Structure 1
Amino acid sequence: MATLYLFRHGQASFGADDYDKLSDLGCRQAEVLGHYLRDHGIELDAAYSGGLLRQRETAALALASQPRSVPHHIDKRFDEVRNDEQIKYLVPTVATANPRIQALVDKGLSSSKDYQKVIEAVFTHWVSPACDEPRIQSWADYSGAVRSALRDVMTVQGSGKTVGVFTSGGTIATIVTQVLGLSGEHAYKFYEPIFNCSVTQLFYSGDKVSLSYFNDRSFLQVLGGQREEQLVSYR
């Protein structure tokens, strides 16, 4: 039996010129995640992340508290769902069927809540059989790459290991959906509620994998309360 932790990255810089970097809060969340792992004796044998900066920054800040150096492997199959390209190419189709989405787009999506509503509508269309847009990565290609990345990690690391994967909400949701044997239409149900720097735990043995717990952010609540910091965020 081996343990695999899925860590969502800390809060990114929504609204900034470069979204793909941690905000000040995101950096603090990643540091506290590292403290939590250290203080509870969770020592990683290996770490993986996607290639996105916010994922790599979260990994670096959290791994800094490990008692020994942890090999950190970059695998772009753990990158996030390509939300920007989906909005660019799928919104016209989705908005035609849903004027509410068009109204949000017309407002400019400066609000994170408005942006998330559009993401939900676009993601739901993307995973459906009705989506045949050739200019974007398909759900089949994306989810297949995520599945193979997880399988490769389990194969390479083998039994008895404790492994951390620093990734994003869409990727975690996809993995959980696959582990539970659900179709893609269920993925957004796990995507939307994922907290920044939350922890999801899997157990695996050979090619068998099971979900232990999902989206735990209680350590951020507890440690934040002790230090009089608000550390919990969705976006």
Structure 2
Amino acid sequence: MASIYLIRHGQASFGAANYDQLSTLGQRQADVTGQFLSTIGLKIDAAVAGTLSRQQETGARILAGLGDPCELQTDRRFNEINNEEQVSALLPGLIEKDPVLAEIAARDFGDSKDYQKIIDAVFNAWVSPDCPDCGITPWPVFRDGVQNALKDIMKSVGAGKNTAVFTSGGTIATAVGLIVGAHHSGFYQFYEPVMNCSITRLIYSSKRVSLSNFNDAAHLQLLSAQLQESLVTYR
């Protein structure tokens, strides 16, 4: 069986002027993840990242930790969902119907918990068949892009090989939802809990693809205890 390891980027810079960069902790998470994968003897035969800086740096750091890294390829189909355009296009209509959401939005959702509630609302509105055409990337386009990117990996990488994909939470949730056959309303359940530098493994053959494990951050939990560091984060 061949494997695809979907690895979420390390902690980004929430609240900073440029979110799309790893924080110091995010860099540490990526470094120790690479070292851990080297320790367990995992060989990565092919590697792909989206175009985002946090995805690219995570990939480069993890691959460097493997000692004999393969070349990191780039595929923008593994970029994160565009939360900013969804919030801009869909939130005004949502808060007109939901006073609780309007109250959260009025606080400018600078708090990460408030922000997650906003993302929950706009994501579910976006994936709904009733989502209006408001000039943003449609859910079917994003979803099919992720699906086709995975299919391309399965076709191009040899049997029994391991591919690492350095991507983001929404993209991982989309891949997992597709594989388990989730209803459109069920994709978000795979989005919110994805931890930084967690590993989701897909196994596949020429006939089928299956979810082996989802959102595994046991390596960071173990290293947190061993190194006496707090390495597990969601944002």
Could you tell me the TM-score, scaled by structure 2's length?
0.98
Alignment match, 1:108: 108
Name the CA distance, whole Å, in 2 between partners of 1:17 and 1:59: 23
Higher mean alpha-carbon deviation, 209-218 vs 98-107, is at 98-107
Alignment match, 1:53: 53
Q: Which amino acid aligns with 1:42?
A: L
SS of match in other structure, 2:65: coil
Aligned-residue Cα RMSD (Å) equals: 0.9
Name the CA distance, whole Å, in 2 between partners of 1:8 and 1:85: 21
Shift in Å, 1:223 = 0.7
Alignment match, 1:88: 88
Note if contact 1:89-1:133 (Cα within 8 Å) is conserved in structure 2.
Answer: no
Shift in Å, 1:185 = 1.5
Runs of 4+ in 1 over 6 A off after TM superposition: none
Alignment match, 1:202: 202
Name the CA distance, whole Å, in 2 between partners of 1:117 and 1:133: 23
SS of match in other structure, 2:203: strand
Name the CA distance, whole Å, in 2 between partners of 1:18 and 1:57: 15
Name the CA distance, whole Å, in 2 between partners of 1:9 and 1:128: 27
Alignment match, 2:142: 142
Shift in Å, 1:184 = 2.2
Kindly tell me the number of residue pairs found equivalent between the two proteins.
Answer: 235
SS of match in other structure, 2:193: coil
Name the CA distance, whole Å, in 2 between partners of 1:195 and 1:152: 26
1:183 has 2:183 as partner? yes
Alignment match, 2:226: 226
Could you tell me the TM-score, scaled by structure 1's length?
0.98
Note if contact 2:10-2:30 (Cα within 8 Å) is conserved in structure 1.
Answer: yes
Note if contact 1:51-1:76 (Cα within 8 Å) is conserved in structure 2.
Answer: yes
Q: Which amino acid aligns with 1:64?
A: A
Alignment match, 2:192: 192
Q: Give CA-to-partner distance per residue, 1:55-97, whole Å, 9 cap, x none.
A: 0010011000113131211000000000000000100111112
Note if contact 2:221-2:232 (Cα within 8 Å) is conserved in structure 1.
Answer: yes
SS of match in other structure, 2:19: coil
Unaligned runs of 5+ in 2: none
Q: Give CA-to-partner distance per residue, 1:174-211, whole Å, 9 cap, x none.
A: 00001111222111000001111000111011252100
Name the CA distance, whole Å, in 1 between partners of 2:173 and 2:9: 13
Shift in Å, 1:158 = 2.9
Note if contact 2:51-2:76 (Cα within 8 Å) is conserved in structure 1.
Answer: yes
Q: Which amino acid aligns with 2:167?
A: T
Q: Which amino acid aligns with 1:148?
A: N
Alignment match, 1:213: 213
Alignment match, 1:121: 121
Alignment match, 1:7: 7
Alignment match, 1:24: 24
- How much identity, in percent, do the aligned residues show? 48
Name the CA distance, whole Å, in 1 between partners of 2:207 and 2:135: 33
Unaligned runs of 5+ in 1: none
Name the CA distance, whole Å, in 2 between partners of 1:69 and 1:42: 11
Shift in Å, 1:134 = 3.0
